[in-house]
Structure 1
Amino acid sequence: MAGYSRAYGAPMAFRHSHDAVLRFNAAPTQGYEKDVGSKTTIRVINSQVLVNPEHKFNNSALFKNVVLVAWDPAPYSVNLLKWYKKPDYNLFMPYLRYRRKNPDQPFYILHPKFVWQLWDIIQENTQEKIQPNPPSSGFIGILIMMSLCDNVNIYEYIPSIRQTDLCHYHERYYDAACTLGAYHPLLYEKLLVQRMNKGMETDLYTKGKVILPGFCTMKCSGGG
């Protein structure tokens, strides 16, 4: 079983342990253990985290002793050379500096094609034409965990009855767009995840908890 802890909205109390826990960007655990637990196995970070000095990427304990997965929103028609020369935020130099300083720590950069393949899945599963903006870190994290785990527990990605306009549990910043979406196709992501939910509706309503099967447990029938 794997746990997944969303970085936004009302925090979800961890009442049992998980084999692995994925967190996002610079979301802390210290001081919030009662609600979000303390374990971190993987941290998905967008390119802004690597370049923004306030996150202290090279020195902060948040990014130590975990698997790091970075991503940057390249254009839909991916040209790796053009992206490398002109990323949205220049994550490559901070990446190299960090790897030289921490050569034994697993640290990956997602291929932009992976991000846009997820967008294609979202578009294919909605009747509306949506803006070609990259999926959220949350949706990216869900698919990463589904590729690694037998089961994935997701907390407050789909808001429970405790929903507020609070953007992140660790910041006093309020904006409904953090839940409903402005840049990212959040609403369509959430509808798709809700359709895949194998958990109880009462848990979704009261705890914001969704259970998704890992890809290794799925059986696809081939066409004749």
Structure 2
Amino acid sequence: MSLYVWQDTLQYHLLEVLESHNCECQSCPKERNPERRAIIDASPAPFLSRGSAAPKEAYQWWKSLQHTPQDVDYFMKTVDRLFQIFPPSPDFFKPSPDNCRSCAVVGNSGNLLGSHYGPLIDFHKIVIRINKAPTEGYEEDVGTKTTHHVMYPESAVNLANTTHLVFFSFKMRDLEWLLRSFDPANNKGQSGRRGNKDLVMIINPAFMKYVNDMWIHKRGYYPSTGFMVLILSLVVCDEVSVFGFGPGSDGNWHHYYEKGNVVQRGTGPHSRTDEYNIIEDLHKKKTIRLYNGTNKPTNEKSNDKRP
């Protein structure tokens, strides 16, 4: 792609985002689909907070994911210990008529390679990255900005002191790992803190069950982390742009930072096809903007002036 073609493409994308800000969130894209709006509004609190309790049904579902043996009382005691370390309630940008919460959800698909989406991603107020998600060496395609980083123990990386850690737990040991990582008294040979303890946000198991039940309708064993993050963004953001989801240009599922690591569609505990079909439908209904590695968003028309 020539420099001039790239500059024109970047200007097109930035103009699209800027035009959406002219309304100052008075008419957010997700408001255009009443059916989806009702589902979004049905979300439980997405983050745990001090004193919050997971409904018994939600806990039993979460417990079954990795065959957690502990009961809900043990879960609540562990959560109480966590909130002796972390802030009592999660810190997220509050809605305001003067503050448009534009979010870029950045997945790890190989379709990011060669996309030149970096500047566009960094233009968003909130940039959410998932799991390993390196930026060094890939800045032109994935950007450099990270305000929120999603992880669980097996995908943990060290974060900058200004980056929010959005923690997904799939079993009790994950919460115990988080406790050990940030509590020196419980740190037995671990590498220690992964980020700023004042910026830790723990996903509510009830939210995970909500995504499983109301969005993918219990297809697959449980939703992928990336898909749950996308739905999270619909709940907490005003405008959502999605990058790095879906297969690469060769049709295979692989990460942009891994060579030859190909994941076939539909393998593992997640229903990749169903999830991606929902993502494409959200784009078609103009609830999100989906960038799939081509020069323009999928299904884009040259005269489209979407807010």
- Is TM > 0.5 for Structure 1 vs Structure 2? yes
- Identify if the C-alpha distance between structure 1 residues 92 and 176 changes in structure 2 by more than 3 Å, giving closer, same or farther: closer
Instruction: Tell me the distance in 2 between the aligned counterparts of 1:70 and 1:188.
Output: 24
* Local SS of the residue matching 1:93: helix
* Local SS of the residue matching 1:68: strand
Q: Percent same amino acid at aligned positions?
A: 24
Residue 134 of structure 1 corresponds to which residue in structure 2?
A: 222
- Answering whether residue 141 of structure 2 is matched by residue 35 of structure 1, we say yes
- Unpaired runs of 5+ in structure 1? 51-56, 75-86, 212-224
Aligned-residue offset at 1:42: 0.8
- Identify if the C-alpha distance between structure 1 residues 6 and 47 changes in structure 2 by more than 3 Å, giving closer, same or farther: same
Match for residue 13 of structure 1 among 116, 119, 131: 116
Aligned-residue offset at 1:145: 1.4
- Unpaired runs of 5+ in structure 2? 1-101, 184-192, 300-307
Instruction: Tell me the distance in 2 between the aligned counterparts of 1:210 and 1:44.
Output: 25
Alignment length, in residue pairs?
181
Aligned-residue offset at 1:148: 1.9
- Identify if the C-alpha distance between structure 1 residues 209 and 48 changes in structure 2 by more than 3 Å, giving closer, same or farther: farther
Contact 1:155 1:207 in 2 (8 A): no
Deviation per CA, 1:55-97: give whole Å up to 9, x if none: xx4xx3x4542111111335xxxxxxxxxxxx3xx22233124
Rg larger in structure: 2
Match for residue 175 of structure 2 among 87, 92, 99: 92
Contact 2:169 2:175 in 1 (8 A): no
Alpha-carbon RMSD: 3.1
Match for residue 166 of structure 2 among 47, 61, 69: 69
Higher share of residues assigned strand: 1
Residue 155 of structure 1 corresponds to which residue in structure 2?
A: 243
- Answering whether residue 254 of structure 2 is matched by residue 172 of structure 1, we say no
Name the TM-score, length of structure 1 as normaliser.
0.68
Name the TM-score, length of structure 2 as normaliser.
0.51
Match for residue 107 of structure 1 among 200, 214, 231: 200
Aligned-residue offset at 1:38: 0.3
Instruction: Tell me the distance in 2 between the aligned counterparts of 1:135 and 1:63.
Output: 28
Match for residue 232 of structure 2 among 123, 144, 150: 144
Aligned-residue offset at 1:168: 1.1
- Answering whether residue 104 of structure 2 is matched by residue 3 of structure 1, we say yes
Residue type matched to 1:185 in 2? S
